[in-house]
Chains A and B, each alone.
Chain A
Amino acid sequence: MTGTAFPPATSAPSSAAAVAELSAGARLRRRMFGQKSFVFGVGLLLVIVAVALLAPVLAPHDPYAQNLSQRMVPPFWYAKGGWEHLLGTDNLGRDYLSRLLYGARISLLIGLSVMVISGLIGTTLGLLAGYFGGKADLIVTFLITTRLAMPVILVALAVVAMVGGSLPVVILVLGLLKWDRFAVVMRSATQQARALDYVTAAEAAGASTPRIILGEILPNVFPQLIVVATLEAASAILLEAALSFLGLGVQPPLPSWGLMISEAKTYMFFSFWLIAIPGTLLALLVLSINLAGDGLRDVVAPEGRG
């Protein structure tokens, strides 16, 4: 026995046996659903995704239709609000609820696309570095350091400003910039997986390198990949919102939540709800993704909460 005296050695087999009575799947479920925050996060995310997908059905108005006689109508809970525009209208008289619903699509699209692009780049680099080590590792580590040294927002802002802001440009720029965490995590996960017995066995059996990487290593590091992917999607959504807020992201009249906050900035002293609603939605979306990611991390590595 080392250091701490618990649990006493003799009890270890018995308590392990007691735990083992639950099947692996049941333990996984218990760990997942034992966590209210994880369920809350996934539930909220599903609602947002559903709303985004159903935006054309749910939206009461055309999100782009201007009505200058109906400008800055407040939401229904204000005295001047009405049921025609539940969440009011913006400075051009566009229905805010409809714009918010379509805005969810932009945020989710950004999160998903940036995640895929940066995930592909980062995972490839991480797998190569972790599997081959040596020179490959040295090069990838240098790339990671260089990438980390570049201030993301600044570079993204500059490039978008030069090329001209649009949804595809923002996605591409963020996707090409945000692969660092994928590479870092995948690199160390691959290093660990490589040392596993059955990977060594596959190598000894003469399996081809691509086969080992895709067939043995990738499935092994997949849980960590999923966790990084969720957190990166959330961070991409926040970055797009910041870029659009600064006017160098998605361009009008697209209803990006960050852009909506930017457009409402001038009116914030009089109509703060114009900022508060999209801001809160952004926070909720990011919160739901982060909670889901945290929950996944606890399932993947329950001892490593922190």
Chain B
Amino acid sequence: MALFIIKRLGLALLVALTVSIISFVLLRTSGDAAIAIAGEGARDIDIEAIRQAYGLDRPLAVQYLIWLGQTLGGDFGQSLYFKTDVVDLVLAKAPVTLLLGLLSLAFALLVAIPLGVLAAVFANSWIDRAALAVAVFGQAMPNFFFALLLVMLFSITFRWLPVSGSGSWLHFVMPTVALGYYAAPAFMRLVRAGMVEVLSADYVRTARAKGLPTRTVVFKHALRNAIVPVVALSAVQLGYLLGGSVVIETIFALDGLGFLAYQSITHKDFPVIQAVVVMLSVIYVLLTLLGDIANAWLDPRIRVA
């Protein structure tokens, strides 16, 4: 187990390194950082001066190595737009996005697990079909459109929730729903498939033969086994949700990493974009590792070797 974790941490490092190279090259070759720094309409002489001052005239590989060296030393550079330390900026915004991601995940699971269990227990009934319909429609709905529908309904019509901002917990309600509903269908299908399989397992029949009430059979004996892959998927989905926060945070002007990334992108703020991309990939790889560990821990066959 320890060896497995070390191997995976090594992989995580390698992946993060590769992602940083790819994003560095992509960002540096698809736009001219010097122009971005100098601002549109700057004189050629100024741009050239900036290019030299920032080392942008050196070969890409050298630039990358310099960036890497600074990054490993904890220095992600200065934001070109916000004029502050990238590290400070990112750390200040990260909690909001992390909270949004976790809330969305919780929301998705809260919707998906009961629906998936119901669909499996009443497989091929109208309940099953209704749950499937919810999943299919959920997956087809563009999340920004869904977000706008929510705004229309809860902010404009009922006036229950604030349209945008990040002052109170009320500001998190619509972003959570708008981000989380999109992850729910995948969970629902997984829970349903797992439950259908597990409910016909011999040990579930044993549990029924013991005269246990249906809820004990379904929730203790069946769900406990069907939920295992859901844990691994949760970790992966959380990674996606953090990525998806770009759209949702921008719509609701929720002041997190996603909104920061959007602002940096529109202002061609290379150092910030680079930092957010690398950070999200590291989080993603760590989350998948966490999912695998949780998976192993949940299965006594692996845990108790």
- The short answer to whether A and B are in direct contact, CB under 8 Å, is yes
Contact B26 A159 (CB under 8 A): yes
Min C-beta distance of A244 to chain B, whole Å? 10
Interface of A is mostly: helix
Count A-side interface residues using an 8 Å CB cutoff. 47
Given A153-B247, A154-B243, A272-B152 contact (CB < 8 Å):
yes
CB neighbours (8 Å) of A4 from chain B are: 200, 202
Question: Which residue of A has the minimal Cβ distance to B29?
Answer: A162
The answer to whether A146 and B277 have CB atoms under 8 Å apart is no
Give Cα A83 to B139, complex, Å: 34
Q: A242-B144, A286-B140 are in contact. Are A269 and B156 (CB under 8 A)?
A: yes
A15 at interface (Cβ–Cβ under 8 A)? Answer: no
B168 at the interface (CB under 8 A from A): no
Complex alpha-carbon distance, A247 and B143, angstroms:
16
Say if the beta carbon of B103 comes within 8 Å of chain A.
no
Complex contact A153–B148 (CB within 8 A): no
Complex formed: what's the CA distance from A151 to B250 in Å?
Answer: 16
What are the interface flags for B184-215 relative to A under an 8 Å C-beta threshold, 1 for contact and 0 otherwise?
00000110111010001110000000000000
Nearest chain B CB to A168 CB, angstrom units: 14
Q: Which of A85-93, A117-125, A287-295 has 4 or more CB atoms under 8 Å from chain B?
A: A287-295
Taking the nearest CB of chain A, how far is it from the CB of B264, in angstroms? Answer: 8
- B265 and A157 contacting across the interface, CB-CB below 8 Å: yes
A154 lies within 8 A of B276 (CB): yes
Stretch at the interface among B13-21, B67-75, B79-87: B13-21
Indicate if B23 sits at the interface (CB-CB under 8 A). yes
The docked-state distance in angstroms from the alpha carbon of A158 to that of B30 is 9
Is A58 interfacial (CB-CB < 8 Å)?
no
The digit string for A125-156, where 1 denotes a CB below 8 A from any CB of B, is 00000000000000000100110111111110
Contact of B244 among A153, A247, A275, A290 (CB under 8 A): A153
Residue A111 at the chain B interface, CB threshold 8 Å? no
A248 interface residue per 8 A CB criterion: yes
Which residues from A are CB-within-8-Å of B23? 150, 155, 158
Known: A162-B27, A286-B142. A245 touches B242 (CB 8 A): no
- Which chain A residue shows the least CB distance to B285? A149
Determine if B261 and A154 form an interchain contact, defined as CB atoms under 8 angstroms apart: yes
Known: A242-B142, A245-B144, A261-B145. A154 touches B246 (CB 8 A): yes
The size of the chain B interface, using a CB distance under 8 A, is: 55
The proximity string for B residues 94-119 relative to A, scoring 1 for CB distances below 8 Å and 0 otherwise, is 00000000000000000000000000
Q: How far is the CB of B159 from chain A (nearest CB, A)?
A: 12
Asked if residues A246 and B250 are in contact (CB atoms below 8 Å), the reply is: yes
Known contacts A145-B11, A146-B18, A149-B15; is A155 also within 8 Å of B266 by CB?
A: no
22 contacts across the A-B interface (CB closer than 8 A): A4-B200, A145-B285, A148-B284, A151-B239, A152-B243, A153-B247, A154-B277, A157-B265, A162-B31, A242-B142, A242-B143, A248-B265, A258-B142, A261-B145, A275-B145, A286-B141, A287-B140, A305-B193, A306-B189, A306-B190, A306-B194, A306-B196
Write the residues of chain B forming the contact surface with A, with a CB cutoff of 8 angstroms: 11, 14-16, 18-19, 22-23, 26-27, 30-31, 136-137, 139-145, 148-149, 151-152, 156, 189-190, 192-194, 196, 200-202, 239, 242-244, 246-247, 250, 261-262, 265-266, 268, 273, 276-277, 280-282, 284-285
Residues of A within 8 A of B (CB): 3-4, 37, 142, 145-146, 148-155, 157-159, 161-163, 234, 238, 241-242, 245-248, 258, 261, 265, 268-269, 272, 275, 279, 282-284, 286-287, 290-291, 294, 304-306
